[in-house]
Amino acid sequence: MKNYLWKFTDNQGTFYSDNAQRINSLYFPLCNSSPIMSSVTGDLHGDIKTNFNSFLLQPASRIDLNNLKSSRNFWIYLNPKKIWSASGVSKDIATIKNDDFRLEAGLLWQKITRKNKKTGLKAEITSFIPASLEPIEIMYVEITNISSKTVQFIPTAAIPIYGRSCNNLHDHRHVTSLLNRIQKDEFGVIVTPTLSFDESGHKKGNTSYFVFGLDEKSVGPEYIYPTQEEFIGDGSDLEAPVVIYNNLLPDRMSNIQGKEAMGALRFKEKALRPKEYTCFIVLLGITQDKKKIKSIFNRFNSPAKVRRSLETTKYFWQKKSAQILVHSTEGDFDNWFGWVNIQPELRRIFGCSFLPDFDYGKGGRGWRDLWQDCLHLALTNPKEARSLLINNFAGVRIDGSNATIIGQARVEFIADRNNISRVWMDHGIWPLFTAHLYIHQSGDLKILLEKTSYFRDPQLSRAKEKDLSWNPAYGQKLKDRSKKIYKGTILEHLLVQNLIQFFNVGPHNHIRLENADWNDGLDMAYQNGESVTFTAMYGKNLMSLCEIIERLKQKNIVIFKELRILLDSLSNAPINYDSLKEKQRLLGKYFEAVKYEVSGEKVTVEASKLVYDLKKKAEWITRHIQKTEWLKSGFFNGYYNNNKQRVEGMINGAIRMTLVSQTFPIMSGVATEGQVKIILKNVKKYLQDKKLGGFHLNTDFKSEQLSLGRAFSFVYGDKENGAFFNHMAVMFAYCLYARGFAKEGHEVINSIYNMSCDTEKSKIYPCLPEYFNAEGRGMYSYLTGSASWFILTVLTQIFGIRGEYGDLVIEPKLVSDEFKTKKTISITTSFAQRRIEVRFINPSKKDFGKYSISKIILNGRVVAKDLNRGRFVILRDRLLSLTNNNYNVIEVILD
Ligand code: G1P
């Protein structure tokens, strides 16, 4: 194997690979937002689906990508007999082994090229899903004669149609094939199962799966094999189908209904003179409306139409990727960044499911993911983010918890798909973090006063109780005593989420871990577990609330009456925060008051008094953590387990330390500057990998932690047990930059980029994966919250371009390493609906800490000079008056 897996070929993220087909489990995503979603490998394995219950190709997990026989095949039969799979999937290894292979891919298409000397043919197969939203994947096949003789061959596209729910893989697999009603069409095969067997019961089937094909003259197949039974034949399989190997014509008399379906389309024999080429189009689609198939087909029924669609699709994704553009000293980084930049969009479409690594999901995203993916939207399109944010707040329950799965359609909240009542204690953190970013970028403080409802289902008092009388007819919106849907402001929702948690404490007066926090794997400490690290973040949130309330400049804040219970310091009987009993009692009182409904009565609280109460609570948290959780070992303890024992520090003669437990005290400001320095020394000592340079999520605890969570039952070095978990690593980098530790933040960011692009180890295409395992292999590609955080860190911290209540802040934290080969680097983004490129000019290539901003030039006009500061603010109005709607250049001179 060559020592690189891929190389970029332009500055738009396009790359090629000559060995991609040799890496098991390497996949590429294809999608549009209709939604149809695919994964495709170098030999066209992978699946296609619109949701969990509608898979056109058999669902493929990581391990299936090279083990499954089901793939998108394209057979060539030559006379005298020679058989070649143009996609490289055939039992006849001798024929395909020496194929000259190349994969090219870009935003968002894949092309494989195979040249086969024995047949004298070259096949180029381009796969993409049109950006124009039709529910199809397109295979565009070009066959060229590369020999010096005329080559005559019979081409057959062969797509096995699975056509049902993922559930049926091992649940009524055979019985569901009996539902298949297969229709032959002039251009292919349509399969419409009579019933859908899925989690919602047996319903009349209305999903149709189709495989249509045509040649360059828009002529359909000459013969169709509509069942796998006939196509494969007895004693064989999809890699050596009998009709191909024995050149058999279909048996027109055979029964085709109620069988495993096949989209095998045999085209008329072709003869190509040397250098001549021909092409075929194969459309693989899923629709709820069979009648639409013809009109979809008509939009792609010629090579010219398909090629046009491919160009439109490329343009669509390139535009998305270019929303934030980096011009650093390293072209590869800029290209790679372009891929990371579309990942938040990929996660919006795929959710946390539907790519081969993500075989635990049934669609949709978790609450935490929803909000973190929104960070990216708040940066790139605050206008669109606004309505999404308001909508998402309707998922908050009156007990501060929330619906956990958010479906593909925006408004669909699902309490829990598996009907298990669970509460993640960190869920209240993220909405404020995201809303605050949105407010900074847009200046739109008014969003806080927008009103929305609360989520209501049978789960009460943070899943401690269940409302047995509740039935779905109630709807998903909380009502008041007069049975009217209750609505409160966004600010009120934020207060609910953060105030409740202040009182929701465990044995050491830190906030209860409940069913887990950010680390989903800490799920076995429900009764007594505590998350100190997210307690620190709740402290920060309470402070952030003070800040936005003060900024809002309202004399009074309106809230529902019962919420006042939690503003104890404004009452006649403020409680003692050191007493967990008093806290729990007060929380119990609140839960009782809002258990089934709210009164609907509103009260006003003076903003300054509200701020006083919140500050008091926030300060208490900081003091408490400082007093109790700074360890002699020189870092913070972040957890207590179900046995009420401390999780981190020197335990059984070995250091136990997690990166999560250090990140949030730093991010929240609980850690002092001195402590950050000590933490950094210890993170390097205990968590940095000496060989790979990356930072592990935790040290090896060397034993299962059944009173903490499943994470420690995973092998050390993978997933939530000590992997190089990018989400946390990026958040760690983010908070280091935010606290002014640019050199150290840069080291973390660099380690992630280097591990991604060390393709000999990472074995993935350009993207930021969820994590790298102990061998440095990239795992769970594309769908990860770390992408949003990565973009956030690069834009707002490293380049330091961000909003502050609507004004533009320029506060670079670029280190000299970033100016290695150039004196000017830049980032292009949008701000205040203006496209801006911010160029950082560092003539003496000085390091962070050594330079300051000396001059700002906007569109060639000096805005400020003779400065000597780390940060410069351009007021929004001034920015608007000095910039235009097209393209604006801000030059920042660093001296
Ligand atoms: C995933 C989940 C995220 C969770 C994390 C750790 O991370 O999506 O919600 O916090 O695991 O358990 P991601 O896929 O975002 O990288």
**DSSP collapsed to 3 states, 193-217:** CCEEEECCEEEECCCEEEEEEEECC
Helix ranges (DSSP H) in 260-411: 293-298, 303-321, 331-340, 343-350, 367-380, 382-393
Distance CA(125)–CA(758), nearest Å, equals 28
- Regarding the beta carbon of 597 and ligand 1, being less than 6 Å apart is answered no
Q: What is the mean pLDDT of residues 317-327?
A: 98
Cα separations in angstroms, 410 against 115, 179, 182, 367, 394: 46, 32, 34, 12, 11
Rounded to the nearest angstrom, the distance between the alpha carbon of 732 and the centre of ligand 1 is 15
Closest CA to 111 of 25, 26, 40: 40
The ligand 1 atom nearest the CA atom of 725:
16
Cα of 518 vs centre of ligand 1, distance in Å, is 7
784 lines ligand 1 (CB under 6 A): yes
With the most atoms of ligand 1 within 8 angstroms of its CB, the residue from 370, 515, 520 to mutate is 520
Residue 470, both tokens? 């509740």
Q: Is the CB of 404 under 6 A from ligand 1?
A: no
* Mean pLDDT within 172-199: 93
Residue in the block written with tokens 């072209």: 331
Question: Which atom of ligand 1 lies nearest, measured to the CA of 771?
Answer: 16
CB 787 near ligand 1, within 6 Å: no
Q: How many CB atoms lie within 10 A of CB 257?
A: 14
CB 720 less than 6 A from any atom of ligand 1: yes
Distance 810 CA to ligand 1 centre (A): 31
- In 3D, which of 543, 511, 545, 550 has the Cα closest to residue 528? 511
Q: Is 429 left (phi over 0), alpha (psi -120 to 50) or beta?
A: alpha
The response to whether residue 366 sits with its C-beta less than 6 Å from ligand 1 reads: yes
Atom of ligand 1 nearest to the CA of 368: 9
Query: Who's near 878: CB < 8 A, 6+ residues apart?
Result: none
Query: CB-based contacts of 182: which residues, under 8 Å, 6+ apart?
Result: 189, 190, 191, 226, 227, 256, 257, 259, 261
What is the average per-residue pLDDT within 791-817? 98
Distance 13 CA to ligand 1 centre (A): 26
Atom 13 in ligand 1: residue holding the nearest Cα: 784
CA dist., res. 846 & res. 863, Å (int): 23
The four Cα atoms 262, 267, 271, 277 give a dihedral, to 10 degrees, of: -80
Q: Which of 71, 43, 321, 103 is nearest to 765 (CA)?
A: 103
Tell me, in angstroms, the distance from the centre of ligand 1 to residue 659's CA: 14
A 10 A CB-CB count for 531 gives 31
Q: Annotate 835-850 with three-state secondary structure.
A: EEEEEEECCCCCCCCC
For residue 865, how many other CB atoms are within 10 A of its CB? 10
Residue 226 host element (H or E): strand 223-227
pLDDT tens for 102-131 read: 999 999 999 999 999 999 999 999 999 999
Peptide bond between residue 80 and the one before it cis (omega within 30 degrees of 0): yes
Distances (CA, A) of 801 to 399, 402, 434, 791, 793: 37, 32, 17, 11, 10
| Among protein residues, the one whose CA lies closest to atom 1 of ligand 1 | 784
Nearest protein Cα to ligand 1, atom 6: 519
351 CB near ligand 1 (under 6 Å): no
Cα–Cα distance measured from residue 895 to residue 888, given in angstroms and rounded to the nearest whole number: 23
**How far away, in angstroms, is 769 Cα from ligand 1 center?**
11
Mean pLDDT of 618-645: 98
The answer to whether 542 and 732 are in contact (CB under 8 A) is: no
Cα(690) to centroid of ligand 1, in Å?
Answer: 25
Ligand 1 binding pocket includes 719 (Cβ within 6 Å): no
> Is pLDDT above 70 for 205?
yes
Ligand 1, closest atom to CA 727?
Answer: 16
Ligand 1 pocket, residue 368 CB under 6 Å? yes
Which residues on neighbouring strands pair with residue 196, listed in sequence order?
Answer: 203
Nearest CA to ligand 1 atom 14: 784
Q: How far is the CA of 352 from the centre of ligand 1 (A)?
A: 9
Atom of ligand 1 nearest to the CA of 426: 10
Please say whether the beta carbons of 814 and 794 come within 8 A: no
Q: Rounded CA gap, 820 and 637, in Å?
A: 39
- Residue closest by Cα to atom 10 of ligand 1: 518
- The rounded Cα 315 to chain-centroid distance in angstroms is 22
Which of 376, 434, 770 is the pocket-test mutation for ligand 1 (most atoms within 8 Å of CB)?
770
Say if ligand 1 is within 6 A of residue 369 CB. yes
* pLDDT above 90: residue 796: yes
**3-state DSSP assignment of residue 117:** coil
| Statement: residue 200 has pLDDT above 90 | no
H or E element that contains 747: helix 742-757
CB of residue 788 inside a 6 A radius of ligand 1: no
Tokens of 342: 């579309």
What three-state secondary structure class fits 368?
A: helix
825: β partners: 840
Question: Does 871 score more than 60 pLDDT?
Answer: yes
Q: pLDDT tens digits, residue range 523-562? A: 999 999 999 999 999 999 999 999 999 999 999 999 999 9
Ligand 1 pocket residue status of 357, Cβ below 6 Å = no
Tens of pLDDT, residue by residue over 265-311, are 999 999 999 999 999 999 999 999 999 999 999 999 999 999 999 99
CA distances from 779 to 542, 746, 772, 775 (A): 36, 23, 6, 11
**Can you give the pLDDT at residue 92?**
86
Which of 322, 299, 73, 294 shows the shortest CA–CA distance to 183?
A: 294
Ligand 1 centroid – CA 704 distance (Å): 21
Q: List, for residues 380-418, the tens digit of each pLDDT value.
A: 999 999 999 999 999 999 999 999 867 655 546 766 656
Per residue in 436-463, pLDDT tens?
A: 999 999 999 999 999 999 999 999 999 9
CB-ligand 1 contact for 353 (6 Å cutoff): no
Give the model's confidence band at 202: pLDDT under 50 very low, under 70 low, under 90 confident, else very high.
confident
Establish whether residue 781 lines the binding site of ligand 1, counting it when its CB lies within 6 angstroms of any ligand atom: no
- Tell me, using a 6 A CB cutoff, whether residue 519 lines ligand 1: yes
Which helix (H) or strand (E) covers residue 243, if one does? helix 242-245
DSSP string, 668-685: HT-S-HHHHHHHHHHIII
Do 849 and 742 form a contact (C-beta atoms < 8 A)?
yes
Pocket of ligand 1, candidates 370, 727, 772: which has the most ligand atoms within 8 Å of its Cβ, to mutate?
A: 727
Q: Rounded to an integer, what distance in angstroms lies between the CA atom of residue 839 and that of residue 124?
A: 41
Judge whether 97 and 84 are in contact, CB under 8 Å.
no
Mean pLDDT of the chain: 95
- Determine the atom of ligand 1 nearest the C-alpha atom of 352: 8
Q: How confident is the model at residue 1 (pLDDT cuts 50, 70, 90)?
A: very low
- C-beta separation of 310 from 109 below 8 A: yes
pLDDT band at 258 (very low <50, low <70, confident <90, very high): very high
pLDDT band, residue 240 (cuts 50/70/90): very high
The token duo for 608 is 């300054």
786 close to ligand 1 (CB < 6 Angstrom): yes
- Angstrom distance (rounded) from CA 895 to CA 855: 9
Q: Is 785 in the pocket of ligand 1 (CB under 6 A)?
A: yes
User: What number does the ligand 1 atom closest to the CA of 366 have?
Assistant: 9
Longest CA–CA span in the chain (Å) reads 98
Contacts of 553 (CB under 8 A, 6+ apart): none
